[in-house]
Amino acid sequence: MVPVSVVFTRESVPLDDQEKLPFTVVHEREIPLKYKMKIKCRFQKAYRRALDYEEEALSLGSMQEAETMLAEPQEQAEGSLTVYVISEHSSLLPQDMMSYIGPKRTAVVRGIMHREAFNIIGRRIIQVAQAMSLTEDVLAAALADHLPEDKWSSDKRRPLKSSLGYEITFSLLNPDPKSHDVHWDIKGAVRRYVQPFLNALSVAGNFSVDSQILYYAVLGVNPRFNPASSSYYLAAHSLPHVINPVESRLGSSAASLYPVLNFLLYVPELAHSPLYIQDKDGAPVATNAFHSPRWGGIMVYNVDPKAYNASELPVRVEVDMVRVMEVFLAQLRLLFGIAQPQVPPKCLFSRPKSEGLMTWELDRLLWARSVENLATATTTLTSLAQLLGKISNIVIKDDVASEVYRAVAAVQKAAEELASGHLASAFVASQEAVTSSERAFFDPSLLHLLYFPDDQKFAIYIPLFLPMAVPILLSLVKIFLESRKSWKKPEKTD
């Protein structure tokens, strides 16, 4: 359930409608998924009148000032939204825009002076709220691996699966150290640009960042020469073969078991400078970068030709980290699944915050991840139960049993919290559910080598017991016959 609080300013709706405030409207949608599964998505809208400071803030001239005034009083709980309805003729929004989505869980919608004001505004609010929190495709993407798909959409395959932590590795590839003496201030760039982004995402997992420089690492593909622009290019269809020869040198970390994201910066050799990446139509790509789902991204950094004029080789190259980090952070966003939401028509987006992540984008990610974690935990527990049902002679140890109980309790708690709209605790509970269920399922003691097919049972036990059993049986028969004879005897001699 997504709690939305809707705040009406004075001139936004007709007076008699304003009399009805405050009240609550619940908007429920059932989203059908495959296999007769449904997810109920509830938006609980609490309508209220605007307070004085809010009125003042919304009558200011520009959006930025209004936001700074509105942001002060309280921090909103995670997962909730606040929508402000302003009057139809307010100049806060540009004339043709109907709504605006801010960086921090707030949105502004234009009101209307109409009899059916509440219904119309209600629909607009739902559109905005869905763009900011949950829609059908977000949920479908989260549950992608539990339902068979008919079509493979790249959006659904790109993001990483939910995990407790991630490792991010930045690598600088310098294939030609004789010509280029490349320096990059990766520590500063990570501190300034990447770390704030990861801090904003820290709810979603632990992140560790490392970096390395690789010399004499070449790409697997020879770039072709384009005489028209006197530059070299890599065609789009040869890009998939670029990654593999480099990957073996990257040294995936031996220490942790978390998924690794690699970001490579390639400075082409003097013989192949400048190097551009071409897309399918043959046009050079503006960012000069490409990424691979669930793996990472590569960017090609061309050395400024002016640097060659003055000195002899090797030329000192100072990498412009801002440009590089812009691309890498965009790739990081894509790889994490922070996709562009379905924008309602005539809606204005605010400029992203300095960290590169808007708060409601994080909320979207957390909603999707919570649902995904819940689904994973439930399927793991079900398959564990099925396994135990099939193979009856597996022994369950006490700690496995306690993990299962903990996982079930966490699943229930997460479902409750999701239904009541507390996103933060729901996410934490869902992560705990996944960890406990995986620990129970992958416990090394559950490996059954106790499979005995029936013919093997016969083959093992019959040669063992049959020779012993034959004399025993024969003597039992003999004892029985003799005892019968001794019963009959006293009858005779009376």
List strand residue ranges (DSSP E) for 141-277, in order: 165-174, 180-183, 206-215, 224-226, 231-234, 260-266, 275-277
Residue among 3 and 297 whose Cβ is closer to another protein: 297
Is residue 297 at the binding interface for another protein, with CB under 8 A as the rule?
yes
- Cβ count near 88 (within 10 Å): 13
Is the peptide bond prior to 274 cis by the omega test (within 30 degrees of 0)? yes
Backbone φ, ψ for residue 39 (5° rounding): -120, 130
CB of 137 to another protein, least distance (A): 18
Binds another protein (CB under 8 A): choice among 28, 279, 416, 482 = 279
Which of these ranges, 245-253, 262-270, 362-370, 420-428, lies near another protein under the rule CB under 8 A? 245-253
Residues 246-265 that bind another protein (CB under 8 A): 247-248, 252-255, 257
Q: For residues 200-229, which are near another protein according to CB under 8 A?
A: none
* Contact residue for another protein among 287, 350, 425, 435 (CB under 8 A): 287
What is residue 191's DSSP assignment? I
Nearer to another protein, 114 or 158 (CB): 158
Rounded to the nearest whole angstrom, what is the least distance from the CB of residue 280 to another protein in the complex? Answer: 8
Q: Which is nearer to another protein, 55 or 247 (CB)?
A: 247
Residue count of the chain, please give it.
Answer: 494
Residue showing tokens 């201030």: 185
- Is 236 among the residues that bind another protein (CB under 8 A)? yes
For tokens 């043709």, name the residue.
96
**Considering beta carbons, is residue 157 or 478 the nearer one to another protein?**
157
> Cα separation of 373 and 369, whole Å?
6
**Binding piece for another protein, criterion CB under 8 A, among 265-273, 275-283, 404-412, 423-431:** 275-283
Q: Which of 119, 54, 45, 117 is nearest to 81 (CA)?
A: 45
Answer whether the bond into residue 314 is a cis peptide, omega within 30°. Answer: yes
Q: Whole-number minimum distance, CB 383 to another protein, in Å?
A: 4
Q: Which one of 108, 139, 289, 414 is in contact with another protein (CB under 8 A)?
A: 289
Residue 104 touches another protein, criterion: CB under 8 A: no
Spatial distance between the Cα atoms of 205 and 366, rounded to a whole number of angstroms = 11
Number of helices (H) and strands (E) in the chain: give both, helices first. 15, 17
Cα angle 456-459-460, degrees, rounded to a multiple of 5? 90
Residue 11 in the binding site for another protein (CB under 8 A): no
Does residue 35 come out as left (phi exceeding 0), alpha (psi in the -120 to 50 range) or beta?
Answer: left
**Under rule CB under 8 A, residue 294 binds another protein:** yes
CB of 357 to another protein, least distance (A): 9
| Residue 33 near residue 138, CB atoms below 8 Å | no
Identify the residue among 33, 69, 120, 446 touching another protein (CB under 8 A): 446
The reply on whether position 344 binds another protein by CB under 8 A is: no
Q: Which is nearer to another protein, 13 or 298 (CB)?
A: 298
Strands 81-86 and 2-8: parallel
CB closer to another protein out of 30 and 279: 279
- Closest approach, Cβ 31 to another protein, in A, equals 22
The stretch among 55-63, 235-243, 262-270, 362-370 that binds another protein (CB under 8 A) is 235-243
Given the rule CB under 8 A, which of 60-68, 244-252, 265-273, 419-427 is the region that contacts another protein?
244-252
How far, in Å, are 150, 292, 352, 370, 392 from residue 155 at the CA level? 14, 12, 22, 19, 42
Helix boundaries (H) for 337-397? 359-390
- What does DSSP assign to residue 301? -
- Residue number, 107 or 243, with CB nearest to another protein: 243
97 lies in the binding site for another protein (CB under 8 A) = no
CA proximity to 28, closest of 424, 419, 425: 419
Cβ-based neighbour number of residue 200 at 10 Å: 17
88/279 with CB nearer another protein: 279
Single out the residue of 215, 405, 442, 458 in contact with another protein (rule: CB under 8 A).
442
Identify the residue among 68, 352, 419, 420 touching another protein (CB under 8 A): 352
* Shortest reach from residue 57's CB to another protein, in Å: 25
DSSP type of residue 215: E
Binding map of another protein across residues 364-393, x = CB under 8 A, - = no contact: ---------------xx--x--xx------
Can you give 121-144 as a three-state secondary structure string? HHHHHHHHHHHHCCCHHHHHHHCH
For the chain, the straight-line distance linking the first and the last C-alpha, in angstroms and rounded, comes to 95
> CA-CA distance, 144 to 140, in Å (whole number)?
6
**Contact residues: another protein, CB under 8 A:** 145-146, 152, 154, 157-158, 161, 188, 192-193, 236-245, 247-248, 252-255, 257, 277, 279-280, 285-287, 289-295, 297, 299, 322, 325-327, 329-331, 333-334, 352, 354, 356, 379-380, 383, 386-387, 441-444, 446-447, 449, 451, 453
